Amino acid sequence: MRAQAVLDAATLESLLAAAVAAPSIHNTQPWRFRLDPDTQVLQVRSAPERTLPLADPVHRAQYLSVGAAVFNLRLAAVHWGWRPEVRLLPDPNDPGLLAAVRLADPLRADERRSDPGLYEAIQRRHTSRMPFTGRPVPEPVLAEMTTAAHAAGARLHLPDYGGTRRLLRLTAAAEERGQVHPDRAAETRSWITAPGADTPYGIPVTALGPPDAGRRLPMRDFTGPLPGVHRPAVWFERHVQLALLWTTHDRRQDWLRAGQALQYVLLTATAHGVRTSLMHQAMEWPDLRAAAVLARHKRCHPQMLIRFGYGPEGPRTPRRDLGLSKGTGL
Ligand SMILES: Cc1cc2nc3c(=O)[nH]c(=O)nc-3n(C[C@H](O)[C@H](O)[C@H](O)COP(=O)(O)O)c2cc1C
């Protein structure tokens, strides 16, 4: 029997650094990693203390976030010469175990087909909540984004003008509901951090964007009117480019797949210099999410609305430092 190659600590740290660079709802980073040194299985677990009981009661957004981290982990594993074997929800008796990634086999030289552009995009991708220029993203890039979603088990719909308006209307309705619901608004606000705050979670107030002076783009208002913080409205792009990520089923494993697809799409865009931001508001209200269904598809479960285009890079947001040692839960 061939001896198992051993994953060294430096590689493991690189893999985890890639995983946690993933986007997560409100930057909750709702994941935990645990390595079994004997089997070299990296467990990806949910972090139940970092959930959003009001915005995400069934944890769909948490699964999307964890799925995005799993995708980064896969990409990084291949980059560092390992063959990742991913099992989603591997143990029905352990619902907190969302994925198991086995890193037992180094890739042969002829199998190392990692895409350097995508791997590098992991650390370059940041949510950009600023206005974009409106310059259309070229068709071949859109095709790559669509193919990426498909390859990861989801679908990407690029709406026309009417479809875009419809999705923006639903998002605006959700945004309005979120703002007038005091507990929902408070939950969202509790994840916004002041400049210099000593916490690795949440979104620094400096990473938020301005409201749209044209009132066409319902960007999420994370804070409401905050004393001492006034963000003047500015004009956003007139030609809004959106993509709706959807799946054909809506089970827990589909949410994890959708998260991987989301990250594949975001990294593909980033590798081409395209900025992205996420507009998840309508997905958080069952009736509005149902209204976002694409009528011509018999089974369509909307998972995420992605806004994309050219514009300023988003700022880096904090991540929890992993300070890893083998066999330790993180
Ligand atoms: C499931 C999910 C939902 C999100 N919803 C929104 C949203 O509605 N509005 C927004 O501005 N950002 C949204 N984000 C982006 C997160 O706020 C962002 O990923 C997080 O703050 C980390 O920042 P980064 O993406 O720049 O790394 C969402 C991310 C995920 C994974």
DSSP notation for 132-175:
P--PPPPHHHHHHHHHHHHHTT-EEE---HHHHHHHHHHHHHHH
Which helix (H) or strand (E) segment holds residue 247: the answer is: strand 241-247
Tell me which residue of 86, 113, 125, 116 sits closest to 102, measured CA to CA.
86
pLDDT of residue 328: 46
**Is 245's C-beta closer than 6 angstroms to any atom of ligand 1?**
no
Q: Which residue spans within 89-238 are E strands per DSSP?
A: 97-106, 155-157, 192-193, 203-204
Strand partners, 127: 276
Distance 236 CA to ligand 1 centre (A): 19
Distance 109 CA to ligand 1 centre (A): 36
Amino acid at 50: R
Tell me which residue of 267, 303, 287 sits closest to 63, measured CA to CA.
303
Tokens of 255: 């949410």
pLDDT of residue 110: 74
Q: Which atom of ligand 1 is nearest to the CA of 262?
A: 31
pLDDT of residue 325: 42
Tell me which residue of 3, 149, 17, 4 sits closest to 77, measured CA to CA.
17
Distance 300 CA to ligand 1 centre (A): 22
pLDDT of residue 3: 61
The burial of 11, by beta-carbon neighbours within 10 Å (0-12 exposed, 13-18 middle, 19 or more buried), is given as: middle
How far apart CA 142 and CA 163 sit, in angstroms, is: 17
Distance 126 CA to ligand 1 centre (A): 9
pLDDT of residue 326: 45
Contact 244, 159 (CB under 8 A): yes
Q: Which residues contact 96 (CB under 8 A, 6 or more apart)?
A: 45, 46, 48
CB atoms within 10 A of CB 226: 13
Tokens of 127: 């949510």
pTM: 0.96
pLDDT of residue 109: 76
**Is 61's C-beta closer than 6 angstroms to any atom of ligand 1?**
yes
Q: What is the DSSP letter of 36?
A: E
pLDDT of residue 324: 53
Contact 247, 257 (CB under 8 A): yes
Contact 313, 207 (CB under 8 A): no
**Is 281's C-beta closer than 6 angstroms to any atom of ligand 1?**
yes
How far apart CA 264 and CA 68 sit, in angstroms, is: 8
Tell me which residue of 1, 15, 27 sits closest to 330, measured CA to CA.
15
Q: Which domains does the chain have, with CATH numbers?
A: 9-123 (3.40.109.10), 139-309 (3.40.109.10)
Query: Which residues of the chain register pLDDT less than 50?
Result: 1, 325-328
How far apart CA 311 and CA 239 sit, in angstroms, is: 13
Tens of pLDDT along 92-141?
A: 999 999 999 999 788 887 776 667 799 999 999 999 999 999 999 999 99
How far apart CA 208 and CA 189 sit, in angstroms, is: 12
From 184, 278, 289, give the residue whose CB has the most ligand 1 atoms within 8 Å, as the site to mutate.
Answer: 278
How far apart CA 88 and CA 23 sit, in angstroms, is: 19
